[in-house]
Structure 1
Amino acid sequence: MKKTLGILGAIVLLITLTTMITVRQKKFGQTPRGERLERIKKSPNYRDGEFRNFSETPTITADKSRMQVMFDFMTRKKIRLTPEDEIPTIKTDIKSINPEKDFVLWFGHSSYFIKVNGKTFLIDPVFSDYGSPFPFINKIFEGTDVYHAEDLPAIDYLVITHDHWDHLDYNTVMNLKPKIARIICGLGIGQHFEFWGFDPSKITELDWFEGVDLAEGWKMTATPARHFSGRGLKGNQTLWVSFVLQTPAYNLFLGGDGGYDTHFAEIGDKFGPFDLAILEQGQYDNNWNLIHTMPEQIFKIAGELKTTKIFPVHNSKFALANHPWDEPLNKITENHADSGISVLTPKIGEPIFLKDSTQTFGKWWEELN
């Protein structure tokens, strides 16, 4: 018995030491401290040592334990989680697009680039071959690795909605570092960037409904999302956000990740109507239906935001849930017929020209196995 307990103790110690060494790697970032932490403690959205959603939001909503849900997720029959064929992409020379063209260009999942009136915005870029701490987890779909840091022009604003690995990638931001003029993110996320050697004076951190003026007629406001955060052992130490980007020509909603709640109507009332809403559509599951948008909710959200167009993202690059890889795009195109809302479905790398009301996109995913 003593020998068995000794072996178990040694295993536990080994696991503990391995975990501690792993999370001390630079890429895991750093939890807020010092003046940054003191500011966080004053936020109305931070209670009992962590950030909270407006509504009670358990990560797991099924009537099961977390371990049961994980077991179910791992053992459930997998049906077409990843495409057999390569994802078709377009390698657009971003630097040479007519400077008078305003556009959004998608890199897959939730990474995209916006250029409006010469100003450039890069949102949640992940150019690595995986969306996790480790190369063997959450690998990208074949064909979705066509863009890299060197393909981008100077970045006026790097915008980060939250610090999950599929939205904030260490290797990507370090490769982009010389090009980034300014970073805009939720409270606490700046600690990661400062830990990674970015100039603190270039980092702007916002609480929900806090805004920053970028220039005359330009404003970026952090708005609520219903989600969670964390890239290490302790979660919810940084704030997850969506953004409203107001420019002289357009009013854009940048949704980030998150489930449905009353905040969409509040955002629509305060900042709408929107010319375009970029919304999460993918990686959902009934077991976590409060932290990711379910397919049947997206047009309700669009209506509450008072938008005329939606661009569904968070799909076509990683398999983070057990639905078929193309189900999010199939469902949104099936359900939108009577919505009165335009749905934009570009290929990766295919620009959405914001001034072109006649531009259309095909159902490119239907050609793939």
Structure 2
Amino acid sequence: MKKYDNQIPTHNEMGFKPLVTMLKDSIKGVANQRPASTINGVFFRQSDTISPSDDPRVTWFGHSSFYLEFEGKRLLFDPMLGSRPSPVSWAGSKRYQRTVPAGPESFTEVDAIVISHDHYDHLDYDSIRKLKDKTPRFIVPMGVRKQLVKWGVPEEKITEHAWWEEVEFDGLTLACTPARHFSGRGLFNRNVTLWCSWVIKGNETKVFYSGDSGYGPHFKEIGKKYGPFDLTLIECGQYDKRWAGVHMFPEQSVQAHLDVGGRLMIPVHWGAFTLAFHSWTDPVERATKAAIKQGVSISTPKMGETVLIHSDHYPDRAWWR
């Protein structure tokens, strides 16, 4: 069975000692690990049409799910729109919000669904099942097709891609680019599918999405080949020194944005679930602080709030406080 690997050595083994320390952390608990009160997002409803002349825009729904509209195309990334990123509905971290800013029913049609890797918090069965008939195209990294076909997605709708492979899509170019992570949805399928970041390039707009990734030299490689970018969506949450090779600390997230040559940064992979031993606001607080220190423009929209990519004005309120 073919297995994939990272560009550089990456340690993410959960041996006996790390598991013991994690158990202790679980018992001890973390202050402010979940919101103390209801989070007020923005209810999203997809517009019926989008024109190539419309301003490019992005809407983040919490964690790493977002909706990208530009040059007449509508792309939905990692649509985890359910209540738990878990193989079962009754266990695992529960979403902070009772009502998701956008559910599958919020969309009438999207031009493509794009997946970064097969983990439960990025590839969600219920979301895909309810969205699969609303799109003609799934764009995924190598190996993920098999999972989608198992869920009822017609094989002809799906294209799989390796790192540095480009796909032309209705006037846009999408490039499957490296990430430093891993894959697997069970005990016996570790790294049998690929994980990736994505470059989305139009005639006038370029966007970079990091997927899940530890910090590494691939960011500078991507910036050199495809940058600069008008917008980056960079993971900045669910980190821990025990798995620092596969998830960045927020300060590294800001550096990754600089490495790829980003103009505006939106921090993602936070705000919806507790998957690590830090407070739920720590990712965005640290990313914002690091961005200010580095002179980086950072947008912190509410979940469901739309950001105009080329605007000089963007949401930057500390709504989580």
TM class by shorter-chain length? over 0.9
Aligned-residue offset at 1:212: 0.5
Q: Give yes or no for contact 2:208–2:232 (8 Å, CA) kept in 1.
A: yes
Q: Give yes or no for contact 2:178–2:197 (8 Å, CA) kept in 1.
A: yes
In structure 2, the CA distance between the partners of 1:67 and 1:206, relative to structure 1 (3 Å rule), is same
Quick one: which amino acid aligns to residue 8 of structure 2?
Answer: S
Question: Counterpart of 2:71?
Answer: 117
Q: Any stretches of 5+ residues in structure 2 without a counterpart?
A: none
User: Hey, what's the Cα distance between the residues in 1 that align with 2:76 and 2:180?
Assistant: 22
User: Hey, what's the Cα distance between the residues in 1 that align with 2:244 and 2:6?
Assistant: 14
Aligned-residue offset at 1:93: 2.5
Which of 221, 225, 231 in structure 1 is aligned with 2:175?
Answer: 221
Quick one: which amino acid aligns to residue 318 of structure 1?
Answer: F
Question: Counterpart of 1:88?
Answer: 40
Question: Counterpart of 1:173?
Answer: 128
Q: Report whether the alignment pairs 1:58 with 2:3.
A: no
Q: Give yes or no for contact 2:250–2:284 (8 Å, CA) kept in 1.
A: no
User: Hey, what's the Cα distance between the residues in 2 that align with 1:308 and 1:102?
Assistant: 14
Which of 78, 81, 93 in structure 1 is aligned with 2:30?
Answer: 78
Structure with the bigger percentage of helix: 1
Identity %: 35
Aligned-residue offset at 1:296: 2.1
Count of aligned pairs: 317
User: Hey, what's the Cα distance between the residues in 2 that align with 1:207 and 1:76?
Assistant: 42
SS in 1 for 2:267: strand
In structure 2, the CA distance between the partners of 1:66 and 1:83, relative to structure 1 (3 Å rule), is same
Which of 256, 261, 268 in structure 1 is aligned with 2:211?
Answer: 256
Question: Counterpart of 1:182?
Answer: 137
Please list the CA deviations of residues 154-190 of structure 1 after superposition, one character each: whole Å capped at 9, or x if unmatched: 1111000000000000011000111011001100001
User: Hey, what's the Cα distance between the residues in 2 that align with 1:262 and 1:72?
Assistant: 34
Aligned-residue offset at 1:146: 3.4
Bigger mean CA offset, 130-139 vs 258-267: 130-139
Question: Counterpart of 2:320?
Answer: 365
Please list the CA deviations of residues 183-224 of structure 1 after superposition, one character each: whole Å capped at 9, or x if unmatched: 0110000110111221111111011001111134x2001000
SS in 1 for 2:32: coil
Please say which structure displays the higher CA radius of gyration.
Answer: 1
Output aligned runs, 1:130-209, within 5 Å: 130-135=84-89, 136-209=91-164
User: Hey, what's the Cα distance between the residues in 2 that align with 1:309 and 1:209?
Assistant: 23
Q: Give yes or no for contact 1:121–1:159 (8 Å, CA) kept in 2.
A: yes
Please list the CA deviations of residues 284-319 of structure 1 after superposition, one character each: whole Å capped at 9, or x if unmatched: 011111110112212221121111111100011000
In structure 2, the CA distance between the partners of 1:142 and 1:327, relative to structure 1 (3 Å rule), is same
Aligned-residue offset at 1:56: 1.2
User: Hey, what's the Cα distance between the residues in 2 that align with 1:97 and 1:203?
Assistant: 24
User: Hey, what's the Cα distance between the residues in 2 that align with 1:224 and 1:98?
Assistant: 30
User: Hey, what's the Cα distance between the residues in 2 that align with 1:60 and 1:128?
Assistant: 28
Question: Counterpart of 1:15?
Answer: none
Q: Give yes or no for contact 2:50–2:73 (8 Å, CA) kept in 1.
A: no
Question: Counterpart of 2:305?
Answer: 350
Question: Counterpart of 2:83?
Answer: 129
SS in 2 for 1:50: coil
Quick one: which amino acid aligns to residue 55 of structure 1?
Answer: I
What is the RMSD of the two structures over their aligned residues, measured on CA atoms? 1.7
**Please, what TM-score do these two structures have when normalized by structure 2?**
0.94
Please list the CA deviations of residues 119-148 of structure 1 after superposition, one character each: whole Å capped at 9, or x if unmatched: 110000111111111222111003452321
User: Hey, what's the Cα distance between the residues in 2 that align with 1:89 and 1:334?
Assistant: 23
Aligned-residue offset at 1:72: 3.4
Aligned-residue offset at 1:77: 3.0
Q: Any stretches of 5+ residues in structure 1 without a counterpart?
A: 1-36, 38-48
